[in-house]
Amino acid sequence: MITVENIKKKMSYFYILKKFKDYNLEPTSFKDFFKNANDLLIILPDTEVEFKNSLDIVYALAEIKMNIKLFIRDYRVSLVARKNTVSYLDYNIRDFTKFYLPTKLFLDNILEKKYDLLIDCNLNEDVFSSTVVASVNSKFKIGFKKGKTDRFFNVLIINNENNPAFSYRNLLNSLKMF
């Protein structure tokens, strides 16, 4: 059954794919890109199970010297253990348009900073997060293969697991290779 919400989401995907149709990441060398990254934006998923498991990535990267900014729902900030190198870019329901896209004011705030590395921890497509990924100024963007928005990443992690813990462990292992 097709609902109004599903139609809105499909329209949103159509909009961002059309808006970013010429979106191409420049060819870059991946030699030591992870070791040389200082400022990192991690987009945390919205679903409960994925969120809890994705925190392993945050804590592992916080142990390294990186400055981490978490893109996180406002009501989940208190669920993340405090670390010195971790700050938050939280969002709430007011930051969504009727079509589940970020508001212009919210996007303008995100675009103020440049990041060395962006990691999208969403295992499933999310139009709000995908728009943020496409908009953020970052040389390296890492995410899981999930469909229509794969072209916004220069490193794709293939996820054939149904268990989010395994998926995030694979991501961490992949990052250690660099």
> For residue range 87-98, what is the model confidence (pLDDT) as tens digits?
999 999 999 999
- Assign domain 37-176 to its CATH architecture: 3-Layer(aba) Sandwich (3.40)
According to the model, what pLDDT value does residue 88 have? Answer: 92
With tokens 């992690």, the residue in question is 157
pLDDT exceeds 90 at position 71 = yes
Distance CA 95, CA 106 (A): 6
> Whole-angstrom distance between the N-terminal and C-terminal Cα of the chain?
45
**Rounded Cα gap, residues 76 and 37, in angstroms:** 26
CA 169 to chain centre: 16
pLDDT tens column, 111-145: 888 998 999 999 988 889 989 998 998 888 999 98
pLDDT at 76 over 90: yes
Q: What single DSSP character describes residue 157?
A: E
High-pLDDT (> 90) share of the chain, %: 33
